[in-house]
């Protein structure tokens, strides 16, 4: 088996670039992205999620820990996660962080935690302008990083989508949830003696990925 890469945890408020950076790590290190937001959206789309969960998501609040923990636990058991994975959007609460530690016990993967830091005032335009490709997952921004042809993915020409929760009122709720429930989890990791690598989320995405990949390669 190839060398393990690790359990990579990406923290950062919505719009900080977790999804974009996770995609770079996937390409560079060949480990899967485990995005709880994507998993939940897929279930809502397929009609397999409880309507209550869809409503919680539409309001910008966090869905119940038990459900997310179970989704992640099942996903991490898949064979493609053996060398590691990039967690994007998980853990988001103290109970999720504890559940994750339980899942990682005994599998020997080193945890690498990153915090993508950026002020909230920068995030609103990023999120309201965000467009995602439903086919390949590419992420664009109509202001800062537009597709070559409006509303079409550069790679596969698929019509781009806007997330229902990327509206200003909902974004404010999501930022509040981040401050109240998720930021303390970073402290929990620090208190456990886990190094948390800080990345400057205001830098161009390519510079952030350069730093991230250097840290992962050196580890
Ligand atoms: P994201 O794509 O990471 O911005 O997540 C979108 C929405 O999915 C969040 O606003 C929550 O409603 C829900 N969600 C995603 N990940 C989690 C999680 N780890 N815990 C609770 N809710 C989550
Ligand atoms: Zn695409």
Ligand 2 centroid vs 155 CA: distance in angstroms?
Answer: 5
84 lines ligand 1 (CB under 6 A): no
d(CA 210, CA 173): 31
Query: For all residues of the chain together, what is the average pLDDT?
Result: 94
Q: State the pairing for strand pair 6-11/130-132.
A: unpaired
pTM: 0.94
* Structure tokens that stand for 3 in this block: 């060398």
- Closest-lying ligand to the alpha carbon of 41? 1
Ligand 2 centroid vs 76 CA: distance in angstroms?
Answer: 26
- The protein residue whose alpha carbon is closest to atom 12 in ligand 1 is 57
Name the residue ranges covered by the structural domains of the chain: 6-119+182-218
CA-CA-CA-CA dihedral for 77, 44, 180, 20, to nearest 10: 70
**pLDDT, mean of residues 157-176:** 95
CATH class of 6-119+182-218: alpha beta
Task: Out of 7-11, 34-38, 49-53, 196-200, pick the least confident.
Answer: 49-53
Task: Look at residues 175, 141, 177, 134 and name the one whose alpha carbon lies nearest to residue 157.
Answer: 134
Residues 157-177 as b/e (b if ≥16 CB within 10 A, e otherwise) read eeebeeeebbeeebbebbbeb
Beta strands in 42-160 (DSSP E): 84-88, 111-117, 130-132, 139-141
Q: What is the pLDDT of residue 26?
A: 96
Under the banding of pLDDT at 50, 70 and 90, the label for residue 144 is: confident
DSSP category for residue 11: E
14 lines ligand 1 (CB under 6 A): yes
Q: What is the pLDDT of residue 1?
A: 60
For 99-137, what is each residue's pLDDT tens digit?
999 999 978 899 999 999 999 999 998 999 999 999 998
């Amino acid at each position: 088996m190839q060398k393990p890469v690790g359990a990579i945890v990406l923290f950062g408020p919505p719009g900080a670039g977790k999804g974009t950076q996770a995609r770079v790590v996937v390409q560079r290190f060949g480990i899967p992205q485990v995005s709880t937001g994507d998993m939940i959206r897929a279930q809502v789309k397929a009609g397999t999620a409880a309507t209550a969960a869809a409503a919680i998501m539409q309001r910008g609040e966090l869905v119940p820990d038990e459900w997310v923990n179970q989704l992640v636990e099942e996903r991490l058991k898949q064979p493609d996660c053996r060398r590691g994975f990039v967690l994007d959007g998980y853990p988001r609460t103290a109970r999720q962080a504890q559940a994750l530690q339980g899942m990682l016990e005994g599998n020997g993967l080193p945890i690498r935690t990153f915090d993508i830091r950026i002020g909230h005032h920068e995030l609103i335009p990023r999120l309201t302008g965000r467009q995602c490709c439903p086919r390949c997952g590419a992420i664009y921004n109509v202001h800062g990083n537009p597709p070559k042809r409006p509303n079409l993915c550069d790679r596969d020409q698929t019509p781009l989508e806007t997330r229902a929760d990327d509206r200003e009122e909902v974004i404010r709720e999501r930022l509040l949830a981040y401050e109240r429930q998720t930021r303390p989890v970073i402290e929990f990791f620090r208190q456990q003696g886990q190094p948390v690598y800080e990345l400057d989320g205001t830098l161009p995405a390519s510079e952030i990925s350069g730093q991230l990949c250097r840290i992962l390669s050196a580890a």
